[in-house]
Amino acid sequence: MKVKLLSQLCIGALIAAAVCFSFIGSAAAQPLASHEAEPGIADETCLECHDVPGLTTTLPSGEEIYISVDRVMHTVSIHGRNGYACVQCHRDIDGYPHREIPVQTAREYTVYQNQSCAYCHPGAAEANRAGAHQIFREAGILEAAVCSDCHGSHNVDSLTPPRSNIPKTCERCHSEIFNEYKDSVHGAALIGEGNPDVPDCSTCHGNHDIKGPNSSDAFRLYSPLICAECHANEALMEKYDISTHVFDTYVSDFHGTTVTVFEKISPDQETNKPVCIDCHGVHNMKKHDDPESQVMKDNLLKTCQKCHPDASQNFPNSWLGHYEPSLDKYPLLYFVNLFYFIVIPVTIGGMILFVLLDAQHRIRKKISKNKSAEVKS
Amino acid sequence: MSTERAYKRFTISDRIEHWSEMLAFLTLGTTGLIQRYAKWPISLKIMEGLGGIDRVRLIHHSAAVLLMLAVIYHIGAAGYKYYVKRTPIKMLPNLRDVTNAWGWVLYNLGKRDRHPQEDRFTFGEKLEYWAFVWGTIVMGLTGFALWNPLATSRLLPGVVIPAAKLAHSLEAVLAVLAIIIWHFYNVHIKMLNKSMFTGKMSEEDMLHEHPLELADIKAGVHLPIPDPEGEKKRLRIFLPVYFVAAAVMLAGVYFFIAGENTALATVPPATDIEIFVPLTPTPFPTAAPTPTSAPILSVTWDGGVGELFNTKCGTCHNASAMLGGLDLTSYQSALTGGKSGPVVVPGDPDNSPVIIRQEAGNHPGQLSPEDIDILREWISTGALEK
């Protein structure tokens, strides 16, 4: 008994450490619902058959799947460490022979089996409902990830460092996007240097309630706010000598103003005004001076022409490159501003003074007229 | 004072012009300023009410066209009045306007007993007129650059476009503030000047506002000497010239509106990358070759049936695992059966659970049809050991 207690303590400590090392806001931090009190069938009963290596079964589709369980793999998983029983996930097993399962293919079985996760992880399940994977799965695309595709099945575990494991997890299904990301300014920093300041996939797309432009019309419209979370953060940007005015200057420009208004009053609006990613690239965004960057001076015209096919050589210069106009940078705008900075107060101030003078004179005249009228009467 | 004389101040043409310009100005001001201050909650409310920012821009552009048409009309009306009719041009600014303005200041400060005597247009009215002319030119030029950025940047440096936007936006602030302070005070607050509604001004108001004009009217010298012959001649020159000029200006308006298609209506997708490209999945290893069953020598347990049970069923149904209480690895235990009774009924394969279960299919460790046939034969011949 004492030994058991001790081992439980050890496991507890291990889990605590794992939680400490796992990332802020990571997927692992979902509260567990009260789990089943009494697993009906002991794990050993299952393992009598399923412990045999190489055990397979053939599905109606003709696919063969393994039905062996690696006892050690499960024991070291987060479920194994916490002593969860087979039938807490395999909820339809109530004896042998097993009940018939309404699936034809291996993928259908995976999707079917993943329904169990919601019993203990209702928070994550609820979040998933709004997520792109579930939306597409319900639309009939069964390949869209289920819990076990990211978290593992018998080897399930909480997220473990390094953070580059996140893009590597997404890579399993989104390898082409991963290949672009890993060479981008963000991906190269995370995967190559282990830099903690750059976004991984989930920073922009979320985790369970995962979203992208294909699952939500609002995503493109809101995406500048995602970029702004880091790029308007002075403490973070200071380290890399990146201007935090990128967001403000975008918003005050014609494109950004439109997008911001749409965001606020018609969030599902599809707009032909660009957001950050339309110019800078999506997963492949590069530093602005990288020869491959879409916003690199030599490439800018081509980028503009994506939406303005008739744009000519001068046109890209109409974009101020996120700079605030100053005497050195864009003096024309500086002087226009200065002109009105003087003309508006002088004109309007003069008008106000003149109007006030006129008004006080008229009021005074009226009062004295009334007085003289009183005297007369 | 209903008997008091009133003097004609604005013709119906003047008044139509004024109301179109007012409609255009108010619309431009409202739909423009809410774009300048797009982040203000009130701006968003108005934009929502008008049907979104795209609609707001459409209204703004329509009002701009109305103003441009009013300007073309104004040029014609002024040309007719001053060239054909030879009406004296009283709107031109002169030194008297400066001295009058200063005179008003001194008068209002109580340093002068008499206020300046104004003619047909007070210095304030001239100020407003010429400010409107200036504003319309600035807004027209900068508005063109914003409406037609591609054409603009083909002729001028690109930086002209953001500069035009800045000027357009600041000039709007100046214009709207000036109208609110100057026009509203002078025409609506100081005195309610109804002449733009009625076209007339009372003698008393004329005396205060335009005493010099009143004097001219009374003296009968406010109009040029009638000259019907000269007028006809001048009209013959004026009409074709104006029609050509108007046609050119209208063509300009058309170019303003339809000169270029600045951008695509829909943005091409930011990326056209394939979304679902799974890494090559670990291939399912080819199943380990099952040892070829020992040839059935005779259909008895020892003749090969026992070996068949051992290799195909023994993984689960063995003496230690005893799944379902069943051990199929020895003759005796195979005939004894499991938890739910015997699985082999010698002589009656159709009622033997082992056959029933296997023929139902999908049993882990499913036998092939050939194997089942052997079992059937074994059972129907009495399920013998030897």
Query: Which residue, B88, B178, B165, is CA-closest to B133?
Result: B178
Asked if pLDDT for residue B335 goes beyond 90, the answer is no
Interface membership of B239 toward A (CB under 8 Å): no
Query: Which residue, B51, B50, B1, is CA-closest to B27?
Result: B50
- At B282 the pLDDT is 60
Domain coverage including residue B66: 6-89+122-204+225-258
Average pLDDT over every residue of A305-319: 94
Task: Calculate ∠ Cα B374-B375-B378, nearest 5°.
Answer: 85
Q: Indicate whether A302 and A339 sit together in one domain.
A: no
- At B296 the pLDDT is 65
Question: What residues contact B261, with CB distance under 8 A and at least 6 apart?
Answer: A310
Give the chain B residue nearest A339 (alpha carbons): B167
- At B171 the pLDDT is 97
- Which long-range contacts link A225-234 to residues 24+ away (Cβ below 8 Å)? A225/A263, A227/A276, A227/A277, A230/A197, A230/A199
- Is residue A171 situated within a structural domain? no
Interface membership of A356 toward B (CB under 8 Å): no
CA A84 – CA A110 distance, rounded (Å): 19
Q: Indicate whether B31 and B168 sit together in one domain.
A: yes
- Is residue A189 situated within a structural domain? no
pLDDT category at B324 given cuts 50, 70, 90 is confident
- Is residue A292 situated within a structural domain? yes
**Structural tokens at position B125:** 């009215």
From residue B287, give the alpha-carbon distance in Å to each of A55, A62, A188.
9, 14, 41
Decide: helix, strand or coil at residue A331: helix
Asked if pLDDT for residue A39 goes beyond 90, the answer is no
- Is residue A72 situated within a structural domain? yes
Residue by residue, DSSP assigns A36-84 as PSS-SS-HHHHHHHHTSTT-EEE-TTS-EEE----HHHHHHSHHHHTT-
Interface membership of A217 toward B (CB under 8 Å): no
Q: Indicate whether B253 and B346 sit together in one domain.
A: no
Q: Indicate whether A359 and A292 sit together in one domain.
A: no
Q: Would you give the DSSP letter of residue B276?
A: -
Residue whose structure tokens are 């987060």: A78
Q: Indicate whether B50 and B172 sit together in one domain.
A: yes
- Is residue B171 situated within a structural domain? yes
pLDDT category at B38 given cuts 50, 70, 90 is very high
- How many C-beta atoms lie closer than 10 Å to residue B228's C-beta? 7
CA B5 – CA B115 distance, rounded (Å): 23
Q: Indicate whether A310 and A359 sit together in one domain.
A: no
- Is residue B101 situated within a structural domain? no
Decide: helix, strand or coil at residue B7: strand
Task: Please tell me whether the peptide bond between B162 and the residue prior to it is cis, using omega within 30 degrees of 0.
Answer: no
- Which long-range contacts link A279-283 to residues 24+ away (Cβ below 8 Å)? A279/A303, A281/A184, A281/B270, A281/B271, A282/A180, A282/B270, A282/B271, A282/B273, A283/A177, A283/A180, A283/A181, A283/A184, A283/A187, A283/B271, A283/B273
B60 CA: distance to closest CA in chain A (Å)? 15
Q: Decide which of A2 and B25 is more confident.
A: B25
Q: Indicate whether B76 and B153 sit together in one domain.
A: yes
Strands A64-66 and B200-202, by their bridges, are unpaired
CA B157 – CA A315 distance, rounded (Å): 8
Contact indicator for B149, A315 with CB cutoff of 8 Å? yes
CA A27 – CA A25 distance, rounded (Å): 7
- Which long-range contacts link A117-122 to residues 24+ away (Cβ below 8 Å)? A117/A89, A117/A147, A117/A148, A119/A33, A119/A35, A119/A36, A119/A88, A119/A91, A120/A32, A120/A33, A120/A35, A120/A88, A121/A30, A121/A32, A121/A33, A121/A147, A122/A33
Query: Which residue, B268, B271, B266, is CA-closest to A280?
Result: B271
Q: Indicate whether B33 and B84 sit together in one domain.
A: yes
- Is residue B21 situated within a structural domain? yes
Residue by residue, DSSP assigns A182-229 as HHSHHHIIIIIH--TTS--HHHHH-STT---TTT-THHHHHHHHHHHH
User: Any idea how long chain A is?
Assistant: 377
Interface membership of A354 toward B (CB under 8 Å): yes
Interface membership of A172 toward B (CB under 8 Å): yes
Asked if pLDDT for residue A1 goes beyond 80, the answer is no
Average pLDDT over every residue of B320-344: 84
- Is residue B68 situated within a structural domain? yes
Q: What is the pLDDT of residues A160-202, one digit of tens each?
A: 888 999 999 999 999 999 999 999 999 999 998 999 899 999 9
Interface membership of B321 toward A (CB under 8 Å): yes
Contact assignment for B263 to A272 by CB distance below 8 Å: yes
A22-36, A330-344, B114-128, B311-325: which has the minimum mean pLDDT? A22-36
- How many C-beta atoms lie closer than 10 Å to residue A268's C-beta? 9
Contact indicator for A93, A86 with CB cutoff of 8 Å? yes
Give the chain B residue nearest A49 (alpha carbons): B316
Give the chain B residue nearest A173 (alpha carbons): B278
**Structural tokens at position B20:** 């179109």
Asked if pLDDT for residue B334 goes beyond 80, the answer is yes
CA A362 – CA A356 distance, rounded (Å): 10
Q: What is the pLDDT of residues A197-255, one digit of tens each?
A: 999 999 999 999 999 988 887 899 999 999 999 999 999 999 999 999 999 999 999 99
Domain coverage including residue A68: 2-158
Rounded to the nearest 10 degrees, how much is the dihedral formed by the CA atoms of A15, A21, A24, A25? Answer: -40
Residue B361 has, within 13 A of its CA and on its CB side, a CA count of 5
Q: Would you give the DSSP letter of residue B80?
A: I
- Is residue B283 situated within a structural domain? no
CA B328 – CA B318 distance, rounded (Å): 6
Query: Which residue, A40, A99, A49, A100, is CA-closest to B324?
Result: A49
CA A26 – CA A216 distance, rounded (Å): 22
Asked if pLDDT for residue B82 goes beyond 90, the answer is yes
Neighboring chain A residues of B157 at a CB cutoff of 8 Å: 314, 317
- Mean pLDDT (chain A, rounded): 86
- At A295 the pLDDT is 81
- Is residue A143 situated within a structural domain? yes
Q: Indicate whether A286 and A345 sit together in one domain.
A: no
B129-133, B294-298, B371-375: which has the minimum mean pLDDT? B294-298
Q: Indicate whether A101 and A136 sit together in one domain.
A: yes
- At A20 the pLDDT is 41
Which B-chain residues 95-154 have CB contacts (< 8 A) with chain A? Answer: 101, 104-105, 107-110, 146, 149-150, 153-154
Q: Indicate whether A13 and A71 sit together in one domain.
A: yes
Asked if pLDDT for residue A44 goes beyond 80, the answer is yes
Give the chain B residue nearest A60 (alpha carbons): B362
Nearest to B150 among A308, A317, A332 (CB): A308
- Is residue B282 situated within a structural domain? no
Q: Indicate whether A30 and A150 sit together in one domain.
A: yes
- Is residue B374 situated within a structural domain? yes
Query: Which residue, A208, A187, A57, is CA-closest to A144?
Result: A208
- At A47 the pLDDT is 87
Backbone angles phi, psi at B370, to 5 degrees: -65, -40
Asked if pLDDT for residue A4 goes beyond 70, the answer is no
- Is residue B154 situated within a structural domain? yes
Contact assignment for B44 to A307 by CB distance below 8 Å: no
Q: What percent of chain B has pLDDT over 70?
A: 93
Asked if pLDDT for residue A7 goes beyond 60, the answer is no
In total, how many domains does chain B have? 2
Interface membership of A319 toward B (CB under 8 Å): yes
Three-state SS string over A6-47 comes to HHHHHHHHHHHHHHHHCCCCCCCCCCCCCCCCCCCCCHHHHH
B277 CA: distance to closest CA in chain A (Å)? 5
Q: Indicate whether A134 and A275 sit together in one domain.
A: no
Asked if pLDDT for residue B316 goes beyond 80, the answer is no
CA B148 – CA B260 distance, rounded (Å): 6
pLDDT category at A56 given cuts 50, 70, 90 is confident
**Structural tokens at position A172:** 């399993």
Q: Indicate whether A20 and A152 sit together in one domain.
A: yes
Q: What is the pLDDT of residues A245-289, one digit of tens each?
A: 999 999 999 999 999 999 899 888 888 899 999 999 999 999 888
Decide: helix, strand or coil at residue A131: coil
Contact indicator for B89, B285 with CB cutoff of 8 Å? no
Asked if pLDDT for residue B294 goes beyond 70, the answer is no
Type of residue at B56 = V
Q: Indicate whether A154 and A6 sit together in one domain.
A: yes
CA A314 – CA B364 distance, rounded (Å): 73
Q: Indicate whether B82 and B31 sit together in one domain.
A: yes
From residue B18, give the alpha-carbon distance in Å to each of B7, B48, B154.
19, 29, 36
Contact assignment for B277 to A254 by CB distance below 8 Å: no
Neighboring chain B residues of A283 at a CB cutoff of 8 Å: 271, 273
Most confident of A273-287, A346-360, B270-284, B343-357: A346-360
B231 CA: distance to closest CA in chain A (Å)? 41
A24-33, A133-142, B309-318, B346-355: which has the minimum mean pLDDT? A24-33
pLDDT category at A97 given cuts 50, 70, 90 is confident
Backbone angles phi, psi at B131, to 5 degrees: -65, -40
Query: Which residue, A110, A113, A185, is CA-closest to A144?
Result: A110
- Picking from A318, A320, A326 by the largest number of B CB atoms within 10 A of its own CB, the best residue to mutate is A318
Q: Indicate whether B354 and B236 sit together in one domain.
A: no
B154 burial class (0-12, 13-18, 19+ CB within 10 angstroms)? middle
Asked if pLDDT for residue A29 goes beyond 80, the answer is no
How many beta-carbon contacts under 8 Å exist across A and B?
A: 204
CA B334 – CA A7 distance, rounded (Å): 42
Q: Indicate whether B80 and B14 sit together in one domain.
A: yes
Residue whose structure tokens are 């001053």: B82
Average pLDDT over every residue of B124-153: 96
Q: Indicate whether A15 and A151 sit together in one domain.
A: yes
In total, how many domains does chain A have? 3
Q: Indicate whether A21 and A144 sit together in one domain.
A: yes
Which residues are A298's β-sheet partners? none
CA B269 – CA A285 distance, rounded (Å): 15
Type of residue at B68 = M
Interface membership of A14 toward B (CB under 8 Å): no
Q: What percent of chain A has pLDDT over 90?
A: 58
pLDDT category at A30 given cuts 50, 70, 90 is very low
Contact assignment for B158 to A257 by CB distance below 8 Å: no
**CATH code, domain carrying B67:** 1.20.950.20
CA B267 – CA B264 distance, rounded (Å): 6
